[in-house]
Chain A
Amino acid sequence: MLNTTRLAGLGRYLHRPVFFLLVIFTTLGAMSLLTAAIQDGGINPVELALLILYAILMLWITASFWTAALGFARIMRRLYRRAPVSAIQARQENAGEPFKTALVMPVYNEDPERVFAGLRAMHQSLIETGAHNGFEIFVLSDTRDPETWIQEEIQWRRWALELGQPTRLFYRNRVENTARKSGNLADFCRNWGGRYRYMIVLDADSIMTAETLVEMVRRMELDRRVALIQVPPVPVNRSSLFARMLQFAGSLYGSMFAAGLSYWQQDTANFWGHNAIIRVRPFAEHCGLPQLPGHEPFGGEILSHDFVEAALLARAGWKVHLADDLGGSYEEIPPTLIDYAKRDRRWCQGNLQHSRLILARGFKSLSRIHFTMGVMSYLASPLWLLFLIATGIEAYFRSLKAPVYFFGDNVFPVWPQSYAVEMATVLWVTLALLFLPKLLSLVLLAFDPVLARRFGGLPRAALSVLIESFFSVLLAPVLMLFQSKFVAAILLRTTVGWPTQERGDRQTGFGEALGAHGVHTLIAAVAGVMTYVYVPNFFWWFTPVLAGLALSIPVSMITSRTGLGQLTRRAGLFLTPEESNEPRVLKLLEEQLAAPKTAGLDIAGKRDAWSQAVLNPATYALHAFLLPDETPNRRRHHALEGLIFKLQDEGADSLTTQEKRTLISHRDGLYELHTLLWAGSSVSRSSRTDQ
């Protein structure tokens, strides 16, 4: 027994060499195939470019493939081995002095109803497991929109009253949202971090079960050198076809990828920004983020803070784990292709910014690999685009002297005698690396009938994989162009904002689809005609890419349809375990969202929240109570007066969102506004009395 444990311990040292050797040898193998295929009488510059691009892309693909394959092996192994839990459970009860864990949810202009419904669901889940006393909830608002701000306060007040004493629900809105989310978390640590041993960072759409929350804390207690445990979130709750396909893929393939990542990342895993538990003191000590020298998009504030924070913790000698074996961690995803691309736009700049950190001094090698992979997740698209262009150029030159690839009734390309086998092998190897993980996931289901039933049964899951693969082929070139455009824009020093993610279900109309994909369709038409005329042999190879682009408008619209998503659900397609056997916490979320609003501080409608804050005495009093007690200086007083005059003279519609926020950001200005509006003749009686 001891020998087995020791061997297992030693085996851990082999994980990374095994993974990286597999990646390198597979890449070299594929490279040798391509070299053999194109090397007929030397290599010209285009071919050299092709080889370099192919090498980079193959590294990316093989890393992904072997991650999935190793994850597959791990899960298969787990299926036949029971995890030893008793020893761990026994130690849990001996956890020394009492401590609290903060559930922190940084929010920025998010739907307050959804934010608080999610937190309520998690809290209820904790109550049901009897673990709620160990947790406190912190809503860290960076919301700038005054309407949303007021609604957050109302939601907080309502729930806090329901919970009563002792207070376990806290809320604050930051005066300045310096350094965005990382600054928000840092502000929390600086002011209240000493109160907690751990914080579990949530996103506005995060949902976690109580069992998982408790287990995360338990694991942290087990190993005092662990600073962060990331639990991979599974996408849930969306009903459009696009989102359901992503949810299915995330649920089925995601577990395999997470298991593979955990296999080779070991103690230097990554932070994904949310659904993770963090040891507060080391986080405060090591994760204060500096500004990068230079200007945006590559300088300034670090946008994607999570990777950097994980790297800083690892640099300081702390362990960062990926708990791939823990379920009960959920998130919501963008409902449509266009929203998905918008989110990518936001993330792209953050990830590309990491390119400056890859070679920064002191980071662990694996942290550098995380940075590189983050960069590559967006840089891969323009590289694929360049690869396609280079292939087209190469095909054109070959067409001037080489025979055609397609003729007669042949469905598959017929290569010239000299390199037909090698080129076909390159193609099939690449396709195998891309699609084998999908097949492996079905093998997993075949070996785990219980899990297979949760995915709607093996036949339906197989059909779902087939359809999902078809759509992913269609969507891949569109995402390639989107991401290439984003990368180009960022390289041209165009900055992006940090807009709120679209979280609810919505559908893409024709106008929106045309605006987003019109260029894609045009590119498909031009590239199609050019290849058909100048390189007809290449045209047929190119058809999957062209089809994706040419059909992007209808595909984008069709996949955004919630009706179609629900239809596939009724047909048992793209079913996920969370849909077939809905976890309690997700049911609680649904109940919270469906619950009728209680009396008291309800607001009439979203648009009226700001007006209520300045007119309704109850809302005004609540808002004033939550504002910091500051003595006004003369300059601010005059600025507020100016805004009040503007409001009186030109009406509320003349004020910008920022001005509205400024007006209600200080107790003195708010009081002045409140009394003036109640005294004013411009405000109708009904608007005052109807509050």
Chain B
Amino acid sequence: MGTRIGASFPDGTEMLAADWQPASQRVSDYLTAMGVSEPLDMERLVAQVRLRVDSRAIAAPLEDIVESAIEETHALLDEWLVAELGHEADANNLEAARAAVLSGHVSGWSARWVSFIIGLTDHSLAPAIHALTILPLPEPAPLVMDANVIDLCCHRLRRRIAAAICRFFCHPELRTPAHGGSS
């Protein structure tokens, strides 16, 4: 786990000032792994993540600042993708869009992400994301496929023979079925 910060840090803001440096480095690493390469984009994104972690820390003490920073980076990306997808942004489409942009095939995505953060209206990347969103499965076209009956010939034959033998020797009174209680 990252740097553990708990009750000993009652004030979130103070804590962030002291501990942001390792979190900043980790967020940079994470953004690099995502495919963000422009230093300016990186700087803006890290700053935005810091702001988000900051406000989160004000709301409630953070358990782990680095973990929170990674979560906020993730959330920041999702926020942009939701904006890009508009009304189509359900959970599956969001996952698909994330997979599409992080695959490295959507050119200029990080710049567009940064533009979104700083509030610049730019051309939408939704068409490019859609083009790269390849569904793994087609629409369901179900058929009923129930298990068929296979009637085995000698199933439980051994048990039936054993039962018959038992009836014959152990319970002679059961050899012939009773025909009512007439006597």
Listed in ascending order, the chain A residues whose CB lies under 8 Å from chain B are 136, 156-157, 160-161, 165, 167, 170-172, 186, 189-196, 280-281, 284-293, 308, 312, 356-357, 359-362, 600-601, 615-618, 621-622, 624-626, 629, 648, 667, 671, 675-676, 678-682, 685, 688-689, 691
Interface SS, B side: loop
Q: Which residue of B lies closest to A193 (CB)?
A: B143
Q: Is the CB of B143 within 8 A of A280?
A: yes
> Considering only CB atoms, which chain B residue lies closest to A680 in the complex?
B1
User: Which residues of B sit under 8 angstroms from A195, Cβ to Cβ?
Assistant: 138-139, 141
| B-side contacts of A292, CB under 8 Å | 150, 152
Minimum distance in angstroms from A431 CB to a CB of chain B: 38
Min CB–CB distance B12 → chain A (angstroms): 17
Most buried by B among A285, A600, A617: A617
* A30 nearest CB across to chain B (Å): 30
Stretch of B37-45, B64-72, B169-177 that contacts chain A:
B64-72
Partner of A189, one of B1, B2, B145: B145
Q: Does B34 contact A (CB under 8 A)?
A: yes
Q: Given A195-B138, A676-B1, A691-B33, verify A288-B145 contact (CB < 8 Å).
A: yes
Asked if residues A600 and B104 are in contact (CB atoms below 8 Å), the reply is yes
Check A293 against B152 for contact (C-beta < 8 Å).
yes
Nearest chain A CB to B108's CB is how many angstroms away? 17
Contacts of B102 in A (CB 8 A): 617-618, 621-622
On chain A, the residues within 8 Å of B151 by CB distance are 360-362
Residues of chain B whose beta carbon lies under 8 Å from any beta carbon of chain A: 1-3, 26, 29-30, 32-35, 64, 66-67, 69-71, 74, 91-92, 95-96, 98-99, 102-105, 131-132, 134-156
Q: How far is the CA of A520 from the CA of B59 in the complex (A)?
A: 75
B2–A679 contact, CB under 8 A?
A: yes
- With contact pairs A624-B98, A648-B1 given, residues A600 and B150 touching in the complex (Cβ less than 8 Å): no
Residues of B near A288 (CB, < 8 A) are 145-148
Residues of chain A within 8 A (CB-CB) of B103 are: 157, 161, 600-601, 618, 621-622
A178 to chain B, nearest CB (A): 12
**B65 to chain A: closest residue by CB:** A679
User: Contact at B145–A679, with CB atoms within 8 Å?
Assistant: no
B73 to chain A, nearest CB (A): 9
**CB distance B145 to A284 under 8 Å?**
yes
Residues of A within 8 A of B147 (CB): 288-291
Distance from A281 Cβ to chain B, minimum over Cβ atoms (Å): 7
* Interface of chain A, main secondary structure: helix
Residues of B within 8 A of A360 (CB): 150-153
Contact A688 B2 (CB under 8 A): no
Known: A167-B135, A621-B99, A629-B91. 20 other contacts (CB 8 A): A170-B138, A171-B136, A172-B137, A189-B143, A190-B143, A195-B139, A284-B145, A286-B148, A289-B147, A292-B152, A356-B152, A360-B152, A618-B35, A618-B104, A621-B102, A625-B96, A675-B74, A678-B67, A679-B64, A689-B29
Determine if B70 and A679 form an interchain contact, defined as CB atoms under 8 angstroms apart. yes
Contact assessment for B95 and A290 in the assembled complex, using a CB-CB cutoff below 8 Å: no
Contacts of B145 in A (CB 8 A): 186, 189-190, 193, 284-285, 287-288
Q: Which listed residue, B30, B74, B143, touches A688 by the CB 8 Å rule?
A: B30
Q: How far is the CB of B149 from chain A (nearest CB, A)?
A: 7
Q: A288-B146, A289-B148, A360-B153 are in contact. Are A617 and B30 (CB under 8 A)?
A: yes
| Among B91, B98, B148: residue with most chain A CB under 10 A | B148
Of A190, A290, A617, A678, the residue contacting B148 (CB under 8 A) is A290
> A173 to chain B: closest CB distance in Å?
9
The 5 closest A-B pairs by CB, nearest first: A194-B141, A679-B67, A359-B153, A193-B143, A195-B141
Provide the bound-state CA to CA distance between A194 and B33, in Å: 42
Give the docked Cα–Cα distance between A680 and B92 (Å).
28
Instruction: Return 29 A-B CB contacts under 8 Å, by A number.
Output: A161-B134, A167-B134, A189-B143, A191-B140, A192-B137, A192-B138, A193-B143, A194-B142, A290-B149, A292-B150, A293-B152, A356-B155, A360-B150, A361-B151, A361-B153, A617-B34, A618-B35, A618-B103, A618-B104, A621-B103, A629-B92, A629-B95, A678-B26, A678-B29, A678-B30, A679-B1, A679-B26, A680-B2, A691-B33
Q: Among B98, B144, B155, point to the contact of A621 (Cβ < 8 A).
A: B98
Chain B residues lying within 8 Å of A193, measured Cβ to Cβ, are 141-143, 145
Q: How far is the CA of A510 from the CA of B141 in the complex (A)?
A: 53
- Point out the residue from B99, B131, B144 that lies within 8 Å of A165, measured CB to CB: B131
Q: Once the chains are docked, how many angstroms separate the CA of A131 from the CA of B134?
A: 22
Expressed in whole angstroms, the Cα–Cα distance for A280 and B74 within the complex equals: 43
- Please tell me if the beta carbons of B153 and A161 are within 8 angstroms of each other in the complex: no
On whether the beta carbons of A194 and B138 are closer than 8 Å, the reply is no
Residues of B within 8 A of A600 (CB): 103-105
Task: Please give, as numbers and ranges, the residues of chain A lying within 8 Å of B66 by CB-CB distance.
Answer: 678-679
Is there contact, CB below 8 Å, between B137 and A170?
yes
Q: Which residues of B contact A688 (CB under 8 A)?
A: 29-30, 33
Q: How far is the CB of B126 from chain A (nearest CB, A)?
A: 15
Chain B residue at minimum C-beta to C-beta distance from A159: B134
